[in-house]
Amino acid sequence: MIIQPRVRGFICLTSHPEGTAQHVKDQVEYVKSKGKITDGPKKVLVIGASTGFGLASRISAAFGSDAATIGVFFEKPAAAGKPGTAGWYNSAAFEKEAQAAGLYAKSINGDAFSDEIKKQTIDLIKKDLGTVDLVVYSLASPRRTHPKTGVAHGSVLKPIGQSFTNKTVDFHTGVISDISIQPVENEEDITNTVAVMGGEDWKFWIEDLKAAGVLAEGIKTVAYSYIGPELTYPIYRNGTIGQAKDDLEGTVPALNELLKDLGGVSYVSVNKALVTQSSSAIPVVPLYISLLYKVMKEKGIHEGTIEQMQRLFAERLYNGGNVQLDEKGRIRVDDLEMRPDVQAEVAKLWEQATTENLEEISDIKGYRKDFFNLFGFNLDSIDYEADTNEVVNVPSIT
Ligand code: NAI
Ligand code: NA
């Protein structure tokens, strides 16, 4: 079929199999171009491995240090004349690249929050790898069915205490408007968001993996967080999602205790704001990202998802020495984003930004390109008028 982008709001309903494959290949080539990561991970489990930071982590491990990888994700293959999801095609492409390089790669498609998928993953590790030495936790989801209570929790993106009004952009049209977001009305909005995006499920994973004896001596585990600028605090770090990130970061001591006898350690890495399926859904953030991109590109310090994760692996997690942490015990690869000169320029542009000057003062073009690239569109090498086969298998799943 001929596959073109079909956009509804901040979601693209279609994905291009060859485009996503090219996007994966470009990330693989980037990691290879940076050379081998000395003493990098060898047997890696990535939870949330099909898009965004999780996919970039999987690529960094596989092509940076020849790691065997198991990826867990929740994606859909093509069905009834509808293309599959980007994460499905990404995973198919990743496995193909890994196989061609002689690297073990298998994937599990299902609800990572469930006990059943945890068990399936453990069985696969036992059968094929014995143990894993790195567990990357990179889930982003709007809902979670709790495996012990059966309660379906939905996360919300709301401020806490008072309403928040600021600029936001429709990144398709470039129209800037004011948005007012009402604060949470009850404690439940907060507890639900924490239940979905907090640290409990990460802890459940590590507990189950440990109990099954599939964690190697010296195991490392890492999950991802965000802080960002003051202007997004009300909707991000001080909002419901921020409470979940506090909870995620607060899980580190408990995991370290759990991993102590294995000589293992857990980390949260604070990453840069980037265009992913998850971040495009947060009000205010896309305008911030398009101004940030402009400033960081001008300074020559811009990074995408793959650059961030390659650097996390090569210069933080596996740097041959101590892992540098901030005063709260977190890894920071948002260091360039948070540089005072960068933030000062973004804040200035934020004040100036209007619909009329947006194209000029921001990198809204780069935002759009990154957004469409997530779904395999807007890549120079692909002919989008041509027929393409939407039925693509993830080799290890079928
Ligand atoms: P993403 O939406 O690109 O990736 C989410 C992954 O989770 C996908 O692989 C998806 O299949 C998987 N997933 C979702 N629900 C699942 C389920 N029930 N079972 C199995 N897999 C499931 O998201 P992104 O942006 O890469 O986020 C990953 C982490 O990074 C999140 O914790 C996010 O808060 C954090 N982060 C994101 C930043 C950004 O700007 N995008 C910045 C800093 C941190
Ligand atoms: Na991810």
Give me ligand 1 centre to Cα 393, in Å.
22
Give me ligand 1 centre to Cα 128, in Å.
26
What ipTM describes this predicted complex? 0.98
Q: Measured from the CB, is residue 226 less than 6 Å from ligand 1?
A: yes
Q: Comparing C-alpha atoms, which of 178, 175, 185, 176 is closest to residue 164?
A: 178
pLDDT tens, position by position, 185-206: 999 999 999 999 999 999 999 9
Return the ligand 1 atom nearest residue 248 CA. 32
Cα dihedral: 218, 133, 256, 265 (round 10): 60
pLDDT tens, position by position, 243-288: 999 999 999 999 999 999 999 999 999 999 999 988 898 989 999 9
Give me ligand 1 centre to Cα 330, in Å.
19
Q: Which pLDDT value is given to residue 77?
A: 97
- Protein residue with its CA nearest to atom 3 in ligand 1: 52
Distance CA 332, CA 334 (A): 5
Return the ligand 1 atom nearest residue 71 CA. 9
Q: Which residues of the chain have pLDDT under 50?
A: none
Report percent pLDDT > 90 for the chain. Answer: 96
Q: Measured from the CB, is residue 224 less than 6 Å from ligand 1?
A: yes
Q: Comparing C-alpha atoms, which of 76, 21, 67 is closest to residue 45?
A: 67
Return the ligand 1 atom nearest residue 85 CA. 11
